[in-house]
Amino acid sequence: MTETPRANTIEAPGEFDALVKLRPGEPYFVLIGRDRFAPGLVLEWVDRNRRRAMEESRAGNMSDDQLHLELRQSTEAEQIAWDMQAFKSGRTEQAAAVVPERRDGTTGNDPRPDELIARDRLVSHRARAVSALHNAIAELNDLAELLPNDGDEWEAAALGLAKLRHVVAELTPKRAALGEK
């Protein structure tokens, strides 16, 4: 186990504390631990930041050192989200507790096993992807309605719709995959 101090408090700003790094005239927005939306918003930022960093790294647009820094920042933000949840529910001693180190080298107060965390992230990402594909299908439907029914563009839109619907059918989480009975 790794001893992880409570991150980003007035008394002890974290390594990535935005207020410490704030530039003159730079706008900012603060989320506090008792805000009901704060933990979820921070975890959403963590998810997006990790995904962006991994994509940029895979594309060769980010060095390994920068990737490591981005992932550390995401881990610290994740810790803050867990601390916010603990603070909001009055469990301040848990917020500052020892945090287990996961196999991927990150830490977090999520008590679930790594396999459950990974499964839930996969299901969540899959659901978001399917939602985005549904939006794309709706846009293609709107486009197809504007095109003449006998043109090449209409046929391309119809073929695109058929392909997207097939992908959606393949990716849509099945109830068994969600662990439901």
Specify which of 29-33, 96-100, 137-141, 174-178 reaches the highest per-range mean pLDDT. 29-33
- Average pLDDT, stretch 26-43? 88
> For 111-115, what is the mean pLDDT?
66
Query: Is residue 7 in a domain?
Result: no
Q: Is residue 33 part of a domain?
A: yes
The reply to whether 119 falls in a domain is: yes
109 domain residue, yes or no? no
pLDDT attached to residue 127: 66
Total domains, the chain: 2
22 & 90 share domain:
yes
Structural domain of residue 137, as residue ranges? 114-178
Single out the residue in 65, 95, 125 at which a domain terminates: 95
Q: Please state the pTM of the whole predicted model.
A: 0.49
Phi, psi at 39, each rounded to 5°: -60, -45
**Do residues 81 and 28 both lie within one domain?**
yes
* One domain for residues 121 and 85: no
Q: Say whether both 22 and 91 belong to one domain.
A: yes
Residue 89: the pLDDT is 77
User: Are 87 and 38 in the same domain?
Assistant: yes
Lowest mean pLDDT among 27-41, 77-91, 125-139: 125-139
What percentage of the chain carries pLDDT values higher than 90? Answer: 4
